[in-house]
Amino acid sequence: MGQATVDLLVREGARVVAADVVEQTALADRLGGAERGVHAIAVDLRDETSVRDAAARSVELLGGIDGLANVAGIVKMAPALDHERPLWEDQFAVNVFGPFDLARLVVRHMIEQGVAGAVVNVASEAGKQGHPGMIAYNASKAAVINWTRVAAAEWAPHGINVNCVCPGGVATAMLHQVADNHARGSETDAASFFEIMSNEQLGRHIDPTEVASVISFLLTDRVQAVRGQSVNVDGGGSPY
């Protein structure tokens, strides 16, 4: 989803820093590299210093920032009875703490520069409905939905809009990971589980580009009346 978002934003004319735990140099080069205003840096969302350095480096590379897409997430599955504290800490570090720190630092820069802008977080329909075996992941994405709403209210006086998207079953490596986990100790294989998780109304999995399109829309200044929302991109799966 992150790569699809970078692809789309660059096509729409944005200058972008693509930050990932592994520096995505090939992605940046494919999209034109520094000459086109596309940069790649490494960031470890579990590490406060790494996040702070990534925010500062992004400002340096772009000369300023007016938008942030927090497309980050890990899932570690286990039954609730076996979901010990390290699983919670790992998932909250990447899914909640790192993205919030990045948003806080980027928004502080926007405010200091007097620049209006937008933050779009990627939560999940799991943060609304929850799924067995993913209790910490569910809770972490619910936290993203909640801090999105609070940040939207607090940063509105500075011209900063904050929303999040809640994807459903997107055809990503993470969804394959979930399918593999479900298949362990089951008579159903991972490929079958993956197909089961396709969207009922669409008759297929959601494509990462469909999520990227909503992220791009929410980053624009055309949606000032959409604030603090958790926008479902789940093929009609969530009832609210």
| Neighbour order of strands in the sheet with 160-167 | 67-70, 117-122, 160-167, 230-233
Nearest CA among 45, 20, 61, 42 for reference residue 104? 45
What are the tokens at 148? 């999105």
d(CA 214, CA 229): 12
Contacts of 21 (CB under 8 A, 6+ apart): 42, 43, 44, 45
Is there a contact between 179 and 198 (Cβ–Cβ < 8 Å)? Answer: no
Query: Does 141 qualify as catalytic in the annotation?
Result: yes
Selecting among 76, 128, 141, 240, the annotated active-site residue is: 141
Concerning whether 240 is annotated as a catalytic residue, the answer is no
Query: What letter would DSSP give residue 205?
Result: P
Strand (E) or helix (H) holding 153: helix 135-155
Q: Which of 76, 128, 137, 240 is catalytic?
A: 137
How far is it, in rounded angstroms, from Cα 95 to Cα 35? 32
Question: Comparing C-alpha atoms, which of 51, 54, 12, 55 is closest to residue 31?
Answer: 12
Burial profile 68-85: b = 16 or more Cβ within 10 angstroms, e = fewer:
bbbbbbbbbbeeeeebee
Active site (catalytic) residues: 137, 141
